[in-house]
């Protein structure tokens, strides 16, 4: 029976709950950011100034801070050594804006200090991209044709992509820790405001955790489907 007509109980048992967790995490980060974007910092520093403070605190120079369009499109580009902050972050003195901007500056500091996990992530990104692009296709073809070799290659490539997500976690948590430490030490936020910034960064980090969980459970689902079909089909190649 073709894969596409095969009833897959693992989709409902394994993948759907993970998808719901990922959706909840995304809703949480949006709602938390929106909540604290309405809370203005008492000292009036903007997101761009917070990013500059993080860089200055760690002695990092030569990093440009630019505006970029969109909402929550903030990122650090190591190829051009540029921190790009969205319009709602760059000029905003909100607690959420300072937290996000400081986090992105934390990534710039990681590259400047040759932080181990980010060097590892940079090295494996090309392999992870290949894995994410080809793995699902090979896995599905392997399932349809009962081909163990094709399925195995697909699983390996998918596992590489999952590994890329795994090593992203310490990178993101470390950038947030650097951000919070500087926001506190440079007195950019007071105690209550700092707690709000922590909530914004924690919610953002949970989206990475949820994405990793969903990918890992997707991998488990494919393996269980393949093993089940092999048992019924006599292990055809």
Task: Report the catalytic residues.
Answer: 104
Q: Which tokens sit at 237?
A: 């190649």
Please say whether the beta carbons of 33 and 96 come within 8 A: yes
Radius of gyration of the chain (CA): 21
β-sheet bridge partners, residue 75: 84
Tell how far CA 70 is from the center of its chain.
18
Q: Left (φ > 0), alpha (ψ -120 to 50) or beta: where does 94 sit?
A: beta
How crowded is residue 69: how many other Cβ atoms within 10 Å of its Cβ?
Answer: 8
Nearest 5°: phi and psi at 65? -115, 120
DSSP 84: E
Please say whether the beta carbons of 99 and 200 come within 8 A: yes
What whole-number distance in Å separates Cα of residue 162 and Cα of residue 153? 14
Find the helix or strand (DSSP H, E) in which 153 lies: helix 148-185
């Amino acid at each position: 029976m073709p894969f596409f007509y095969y009833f897959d109980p693992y989709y409902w048992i394994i993948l759907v709950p993970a998808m719901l967790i990922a959706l909840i995490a995304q809703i949480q980060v949006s709602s938390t950011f929106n909540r604290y974007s309405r809370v203005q910092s008492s000292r009036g520093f903007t997101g761009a100034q917070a990013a500059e403070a993080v860089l200055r605190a760690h002695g990092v120079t030569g990093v440009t801070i630019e505006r970029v369009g969109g909402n929550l499109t903030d990122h650090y580009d190591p190829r051009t050594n540029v921190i790009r902050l969205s319009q709602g972050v760059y000029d905003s003195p909100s607690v959420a804006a300072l937290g996000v901007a400081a986090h992105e500056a934390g990534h710039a500091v990681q590259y400047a200090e040759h932080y181990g996990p980010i060097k590892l992530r940079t090295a494996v990104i090309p392999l992870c991209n290949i894995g994410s692009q080809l793995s699902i296709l090979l896995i599905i073809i392997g399932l349809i044709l009962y081909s163990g070799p094709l399925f195995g290659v697909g699983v390996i490539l998918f596992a590489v992509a999952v590994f890329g997500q795994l090593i992203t976690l310490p990178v993101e948590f470390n950038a947030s820790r650097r951000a919070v430490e500087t926001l506190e030490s440079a007195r950019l936020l007071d105690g209550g405001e700092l707690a709000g910034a922590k909530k914004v960064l924690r919610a953002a980090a949970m989206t990475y955790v949820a994405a990793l969980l969903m990918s890992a459970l997707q991998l488990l689902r494919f393996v269980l489907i393949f093993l089940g079909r092999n048992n019924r089909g006599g292990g055809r190649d």
